[in-house]
Structure 1
Amino acid sequence: MLFTNSGNNQAISIPYNWNADYANGKNYAEYDLLTHKKNDFYLIQKNQVIRFGLFGQGMKLFFEMSDGSFNINGRRIEIEYIDDEDERTYHLTTNFENKDLITYKEAFTDFNNVQGIQKSNLKSINFGYKTTYTKEETQLFFQPVVSLPFEDSPFIEVKITSNKSMNGHLIFKSRGIEIERFYAPLEAYSAGQINWVIK
């Protein structure tokens, strides 16, 4: 398993590669670590995945499939939503529901009239998941995505949609200690989004 071993695997071809650690102790990376052959994201055995994320540049960034908590280079990051009106806490990253894996790259290409289209330039590499968090009559669609931009600070893009209107705060924690909170009222069936710079 790549994410829990002490080795420092180098990404191939680009600064960060995605990787899935499997329950049987094996892993499936974007590029085979021995042959450097590119693997297909859609062939990940999703029912076997226990961790998913990125590695490269001496870092490992992933989430635990079991509960959805993030591990950002050795530091556990958790996200909660507190409804101020009924004082309920929704532990979004302590969520044992199924999770759909997400990874994508943002790139741009310059164009000029003399040389035409130039080569693509990577802007960021991203990973995360989407899931539904259910607590009694409340359902929250939750999509956290860690973004690693090449010319800016890493951040987590959080999207939440609720089946009812709520007036509360979104809270970011590191190792169980609150780092930052944001006022985040939710309107029923309307998506809310925030980008939190990882601290």
Structure 2
Amino acid sequence: MLFTNSENNQAIGIPFNWNAEYANGKNYAEYDLLTHKKNDFYLIQKNQVIRFGLFGQRMKFFFEMSDGSFNINGRRIEIEYINEEDGKTYHLTTNFENKDLITYKEAYSDFNGIQGTVSKSNIKSINFGYKTQYKKDDVQLFFQPVVSLPLSSNEGAFIEVKLTSNKSMNGHLVFKSRGIEVERFYAPLEADRAGQMNWTIK
């Protein structure tokens, strides 16, 4: 299995490739690991996936399909929401609901206004994550965490978090590394309105 073994598989064509690890031990990567033929993201057997993420540059970034926790180059990252009004904690990345896989590349093109031509596209970042529902008591949360790996040397990796609640809550978004709180942010939620923030991975 690519994400849990000690090998450093190299990405093909771009700095990072996506990969889905299946329960039977097989990998379904953006480019086939043996033939280097490009695979179709939409042909991933989602009901077989146990891990999904990116690899390349001697690094591995993925999440566990079972609970949604992230592994960022060997470090477990968890996200929680704490409602300060009643003290309840919503362990967003300890969530056993179904998850829809997300991966995309953010790119830009240079346009030549004189010749009216577009030069080749340049990839700005490569991203992966998922979207899911989190349910606890009478609270339903729509949760979408996406890890972004900017390709410019002066930007660090970050997690874009989108969170929507069916109830208004006054609380904090908490980020943990290896079970220890790293940072928290005041993040009041208004019923049925999406909140979004980017957290630079520390």
Q: Normalization by structure 1: what TM-score?
A: 0.99
- 1:123-142 alignment, distance < 5 Å: 123-142=124-143
Distance in 1 between residues matched to 2:142 and 2:194, nearest whole Å: 9
Distance in 2 between residues matched to 1:122 and 1:89, nearest whole Å: 38
Residue aligning to 2:39 = 39
Distance in 2 between residues matched to 1:48 and 1:21, nearest whole Å: 8
Distance in 1 between residues matched to 2:192 and 2:113, nearest whole Å: 45
Match of 1:183 among 181, 186, 190: 186
Residue aligning to 2:200 = 197
Distance in 1 between residues matched to 2:6 and 2:75, nearest whole Å: 15
Amino acid at match of 1:193: Q
SS in 1 for 2:47: helix
Cα-to-partner distance string for 1:42-79 (whole Å, 9 max, x where unaligned): 00000000000000001000000000000000000000
SS in 2 for 1:119: coil
Amino acid at match of 1:70: F
Q: Which ranges in structure 2 are unaligned for 5 or more consecutive residues?
A: none
Q: CA shift at 1:17, angstroms?
A: 0.1
- 1:12-23 alignment, distance < 5 Å: 12-23=12-23
Distance in 2 between residues matched to 1:158 and 1:23, nearest whole Å: 27
Match of 2:160 among 157, 161, 181: 157
Give every structure 1 segment of 4 or more consecutive aligned residues whose post-TM-superposition deviation is greater than 2 Å.
none
Backbone CA RMSD of aligned residues: 0.6
Length, aligned pairs only: 199
Q: Normalization by structure 2: what TM-score?
A: 0.98
Q: CA shift at 1:142, angstroms?
A: 0.1
Q: CA shift at 1:113, angstroms?
A: 2.5
